[in-house]
Amino acid sequence: MKLILASASPRRAELVRKTGCDFVIRPSDAEEVILPSATETAAANAALKALSVKAEDGCVVLGADTVVSSADDRPLGKPHSEEEAFAMLRELCGRTHVVITGIYLTDGTRSAHEEVKTRVTFAPFDENLVRAYIATGKPFDKAGGYGIQDKELKDLVVRVDGDVDNVIGLPVAAVRRLLRENFL
């Protein structure tokens, strides 16, 4: 099976490689939306991305969107400034939050979708660690202002309950299962 990845994310492309499927990258030009809840936001954006890319014969388009949920289920997107990254990370520290990735698959006729949730617990706020991480520039292309795979944050991540690939940007096991159940 051949996939069309509707994303320009290098992290997501690396995760798609783990599915074992051949794939091509065709970034979506869909305008992302922010809805009241993080789950609704992830689901809607995954669908928008997948449906904005034409499905070719014999191919399945994969759209995905990862959202970090605040304590009150508010979607935390990508920070646009150092201050915004600092505020997001401060909010997440010392608590457990949920990371949701919406996945949407379509071959132009059929579709399948799912929202996968992973709980992540951060250590208490450490201003020096957070400021040093922000100085790397890494928070600005990641939902919630962090990448769990970033070595600078290893001391902040206390626990991950669920699929770590989901937190990075694509729940590979769920994608494999949806492809098997709906497109093979």
SS3 42: helix
pLDDT digits (tens, 9 = 90+) for 170-182: 999 999 999 999 9
Over range 132-159, report the average pLDDT. 95
- Judged against a pLDDT cut of 90, whether residue 1 lies above it is answered with no
pLDDT at residue 149 in the model: 95
- What's the confidence (pLDDT) of residue 130? 97
Q: What is the pLDDT of residue 70?
A: 87
CA distances in angstroms from 112 to 108, 117, 147, 175, listed in the order given: 11, 17, 27, 10
Task: Determine whether 65 is an active site residue.
Answer: yes
Please tell me which residue in 22, 29, 57, 65 is annotated as part of the active site.
65
For tokens 């944050």, the residue is: 153
Please provide the average confidence, as pLDDT, over all residues in the chain. Answer: 95
- Hey, what amino acid is at 47? A
- The amino acid that residue 145 corresponds to is G
